[in-house]
Amino acid sequence: MTTPVWVQLVYLLCAVCFILALKGLSGPRTARSGNLIGAAAAVVGCTVPFFYLDLDHVALILGAIAIGTAGGLVGARRVQMTQMPQMVALFNGVGGGAAALVALLELQHLGDDAGWFELAATAFTIVVGSISFSGSVITFLKLQELMTSRPVIFPGLPVVFGGALLAAVALSVVTVTAPAVGVGVILTLLGLLIGVLLVLPVGGADVPIVISLLNAFTGLTVAAGGYVLGNTLLLVAGTLVGASGTFLTKLMAAAMGRSVANILFGALKGGSTLGAGEISDRPVKSAGAEDVAILLGYASKVIIVPGYGLAVAQAQHTLRELVDVLGERGIHVDYAIHPVAGRMPGHMNVLLAEAQVPYEQLKEMDDINGEFKQTDVVLVVGANDVVNPAAKTTPGAPIYGMPILNADEAQQVIFMKRSMRPGFAGIENELLFDPRTTLLFGDAKDSLGKLLSAVKSL
């Protein structure tokens, strides 16, 4: 069926809106409007087929849309900021799984006159979409702590993984030469197995990077599915997601100081970003809120290093109030944002934007690292690995080679921690035992509240 010209024009407009949305999401000031533009384009793109296609099972389609919309609304409203990476993983997995199912159903309608490239795109969508689905489920289970976040390996895993990969390639060739639904089903099962085996060896801080990689996989499957269905909008949208996910994966890997291959397969040869995780009993210097308030209140320059613990405690609003009070005292305060702080890219930016922290105060690692030497006090709130000197000084450490924030160069360092439990990488942080470091133990929100009151009373 030839697509009407008006439909092609609407799809072209939607594609432009997707590009504008992606551009808007690149900055905090425009992220909200970019998100709305993209969502509106997606709604229009999903609605248009009802006006020019003779659809079957319309009631079932509308019912599925209603269920999906309700699930999305409930998830978006109820999921806490600390659980956002898990939700992203699930949504991404559902996208990959949907693309695989559509390609599997389309396989039974492709006749003998189907071109080899169309069949190859179908096989690709089935395999990679299945990998994205099962891999995303495993990342969800790891981040939600429904299974261990440590690397899971077993004897013969590389052999099984390699065998499944070769079998998937062979069956993909069979799908192109002799397409059959039965072959497609086996291909789906192999893709699910590959996805599980791909993510199981990944542990610790590497999981968010794998989510980004799987997001790129989903984008590529959607693009391939768009080709199979002859839908230009799907092709454009999938390409955008695939390209942006790939770039993001490479940027995050660079921020960890490691290659994507090492992140995926490092545990198979003994490497991982997750260490032993023992709680240290070494003596440290600790203080109460009043003593820490004196250090902050009489400083001239302070840098805040936020981390996942800030998100867990939901203490971003109290932290912003503290920074405002320090600013009223003439103290220059900036936030140092590490690219992989939190559990997903931009986690800290979104968290602090929610507390209406001025964007000008948020400084990326490369921009602020040179300022630590001239800083009187660094306040680390719920972060650990992103300021751990082991990344620079300890070859063989799980995070060795990862670029970090140079908090160890400041005059004084204040760590706000619940306990001496190590960070997500599971290794000890020598900065905690530095004579210039003072620890303030307790829940971040409670401790910041006490600290705020103490600074006000100075």
Which sequence positions are flagged as catalytic? 385
Q: Would you give the distance in Å from CA 104 to the centre of its chain?
A: 28
Contact assessment for residue 100 and residue 122, using Cβ atoms and an 8 Å cutoff: no
Cross-strand pairs, 337? 364
Amino acid at 438: T
Contact assessment for residue 52 and residue 178, using Cβ atoms and an 8 Å cutoff: no
Please give, one letter per residue, the 3-state secondary structure of the chain.
Answer: CCCCHHHHHHHHHHHHHHHHHHHHCCCHHHHHHHHHHHHHHHHHHHHCHHHHCCCCCHHHHHHHHHHHHHHHHHHHHHCCHHHHHHHHHHHHHHHHHHHHHHHHHHHCCCCCCCCHHHHHHHHHHHHHHHHHHHHHHHHHHHHCCCCCCCCCCCCCHHHHHHHHHHHHHHHHHHHHHCCCHHHHHHHHHHHHHHHHHHHCCCCHHHHHHHHHHHHHHHHHHHHHHHHHHCCHHHHHHHHHHHHHHHHHHHHHHHHHCCCHHHHHHHHHHCCCCCCCCCCCCCCCCECCHHHHHHHHHCCCEEEEEECHHHHHHCCHHHHHHHHHHHHHCCCEEEEEECCCCCCCCCHHHHHHHHCCCCHHHEEEHHHHHHHHHHCCEEEEECCCHHHCCHHHHCCCCCCCCCCCCCHHHCCEEEEEECCCCCCCCCCCCHHHHCCCEEEEECCHHHHHHHHHHHHHCC
Distance CA 69, CA 81 (A): 20
Residue 175 CB neighbour total at 10 angstroms = 23
